[in-house]
Amino acid sequence: MEPACGEMRQIKVGVLGCGTVGKGVCRVLLENRALLAARLGMELTLARVADVNPMTPEGLGLPEGVFTTDPSRILEDPDIPIVVETVGGCGVARELVLAALRAGKSVATANKALIANHGREIYETAMASGVDFMYEASVGGCMPIIKTIRESLAGNRVTSLFGILNGTCNYILTKITHEGLDFARALAEAQEKGYAEADPTMDVDGFDTVHKLAICMTNAYGMHVDYRDIYVEGIRRITPMDIEFARRFGYRVKLLAISKNHGDRVEGRVHPTMVPVKSLISDVNGPMNAVMLSGDAAGDIVLYGQGAGMMPTGSAVVSDLVDLARNHLCKACRRVPVFSFQDSCMAPARLMPMDEVRTRYYIRFAALDRPGVLSRLSGVLGDHRISIHSAYQKGRESDGPVAVVLLTHEAEEKNMQAAVKEIEAMDVVGARPVLIRVENQGAVED
């Protein structure tokens, strides 16, 4: 039974864009109206929903007169202090967000590309207008990652964060892992299920993840991190063969967003990563997301949930609306700073170049099965100060090349890249080697 409430004041919300996420926001506001009122002490009223397509709200049960095709009916309505942007993309969405902020309205969005590309401009506009800008739903769908970094870990120096922030890639990698599908087949299934777009580039090449990582790093460290400065590599080259070798070594392959705080500099990278089978992250399957945040006082925190979808993303946007409404009610704008730190304390990003990153590596060569080949390969690695942890060679079935797989101890990226280049040029080595970085963070002890 919903809690009963007496006479209530109301605060009006306008939603710009009525696609999947916009619909989710509308549904949460409409379906949980009494619950929200009981929590807020006032009605959070869905006053206006704007979309260019008049057919979009069909079946949504919007009250009479709420829908419009004209965004100015939200932007120019002085009785609507809170606006949701769910248009998507960086063109019209950017213009609408800036217009809403300039009109003195606080804005909530789920649009990570917009924040990653125009976050600073939006932030400065919000500062100048004395309003709030919130974006919990931009990273990890329903998981409260931004809130956890900004509020729950406010007393911590964030020491690292890593996780699965793209459900499409995780779905594809899960299919390759558990059903032995190749990348193309797994991608086709992800498209059939509606997880992957017709053009899957943003997801499978890691760009969606790198946008989200830049947003998390900005909040974690109080520095404006540009996603273009973060190393990114997608999952197109991952094969069932590599996943099977990973299993033999006790690992699974995930597309990870990784960041580590080295004090003077921070590390940020997105790439396929081998994680221990005995770790929470390795058990995150299908389209699910998970992130492990570490703070110097708190230790490790793991969040797990649906990173996309109408209702999970709608849930995250509405959590921002509740915060914005509370701020509005208390006339307490930006009680929590937009990017976690006071404006005067935001620093320029100090990113460690990828070349200097240290990690462990899995490397698979196609090499001729001849005497001395393994020692030549290990010799090159040794020359570049890379120490081998374990090796495996697949038995020869023909005169063609065989798979030689090496797992290394920790090494520097530039040394590994130089070694791979040298090995690629060897006459006994065939196709381009496959390199997958290995992280043992988050391993669970027996």
Q: Count of residues binding ligand HSE (CB under 6 A)?
A: 8
Least spacing, CB of residue 88 vs ligand HSE, in Å:
10
- Determine how β-strand 288-295 pairs with β-strand 158-164: antiparallel
Q: Pick the catalytic residue: 212, 278, 331, 394?
A: 212
Least spacing, CB of residue 193 vs ligand HSE, in Å:
11
Burial of 215 (0-12, 13-18, 19+ CB in 10 A): buried
Taking CB under 6 A as the binding criterion, the range among 148-156, 165-173, 354-362, 418-426 that sits at the site for ligand HSE is: 165-173
Two tokens at 346?
A: 């935001």
Least spacing, CB of residue 323 vs ligand HSE, in Å:
21
Least spacing, CB of residue 200 vs ligand HSE, in Å:
9
Does position 51 bind ligand HSE by CB under 6 A? no
Instruction: Give 191 or 378: the residue with its C-beta nearer to ligand HSE.
Output: 191
Instruction: Give 310 or 428: the residue with its C-beta nearer to ligand HSE.
Output: 310
Of 167, 276, 433, 442, the residue at the interface with ligand HSE (CB under 6 A) is 167
Of 129, 166, 327, 359, the residue at the interface with ligand HSE (CB under 6 A) is 166
Least spacing, CB of residue 141 vs ligand HSE, in Å:
7
Does position 307 bind ligand HSE by CB under 6 A? yes
What character string, x for contact with ligand HSE (CB under 6 A) and - otherwise, covers 119-158? ----------------------------------------
Least spacing, CB of residue 196 vs ligand HSE, in Å:
7
CA-wise closest residue to 139 among 260, 257, 279 = 257
Does position 232 bind ligand HSE by CB under 6 A? no
Does position 308 bind ligand HSE by CB under 6 A? yes
Least spacing, CB of residue 169 vs ligand HSE, in Å:
7
Instruction: Give 308 or 354: the residue with its C-beta nearer to ligand HSE.
Output: 308
Instruction: Give 103 or 213: the residue with its C-beta nearer to ligand HSE.
Output: 213
Return the DSSP state at 46.
Answer: E
Least spacing, CB of residue 3 vs ligand HSE, in Å:
33
SS (H, E, C) the chain: CCCCCCCCCEEEEEEECCCHHHHHHHHHHHHCHHHHHHHHCCEEEEEEEECCCCCCCCCCCCCCCCEECCCHHHHCCCCCCEEEECCCCCCHHHHHHHHHHHCCCEEEECCHHHHHHHHHHHHHHHHHHCCCEECHHHCCCCCCHHHHHHHHCCCCCEEEEEEECCHHHHHHHHHHHHHCCCHHHHHHHHHHCCCCCCCCHHHHCCHHHHHHHHHHHHHHHCEECCHHHCEECCCCCCCHHHHHHHHHCCEEEEEEEEEEECCCCEEEEEEEEEEECCECHHHCCCCEEEEEEEECCCEEEEEEEECCCHHHHHHHHHHHHHHHHHHHHHCCCCCCCCCCCCHHHCEECCECCHHHCEEEEEEEEEECCCCCHHHHHHHHHHHCCCCEEEEEECCCCCCCCEEEEEEECCEEHHHHHHHHHHHHCCCCECCCCEEEEECCCCECCC
Of 86, 117, 168, 408, the residue at the interface with ligand HSE (CB under 6 A) is 168
23 is catalytic: no
Does position 173 bind ligand HSE by CB under 6 A? no
Instruction: Give 166 or 282: the residue with its C-beta nearer to ligand HSE.
Output: 166
Of 85, 132, 203, 320, the residue at the interface with ligand HSE (CB under 6 A) is 203
Two tokens at 338?
A: 């937009």
Instruction: Give 113 or 380: the residue with its C-beta nearer to ligand HSE.
Output: 113
Residues within window 180-199 making contact with ligand HSE, judged by CB under 6 A: 195
Does position 208 bind ligand HSE by CB under 6 A? yes
Instruction: Give 209 or 261: the residue with its C-beta nearer to ligand HSE.
Output: 209
Does position 408 bind ligand HSE by CB under 6 A? no
In angstroms, the CA 272 to CA 234 distance is: 7
Instruction: Provide the binding-site residues for ligand HSE, judged by CB under 6 A.
Output: 166-168, 195, 203, 208, 307-308
Catalytic residues: 212
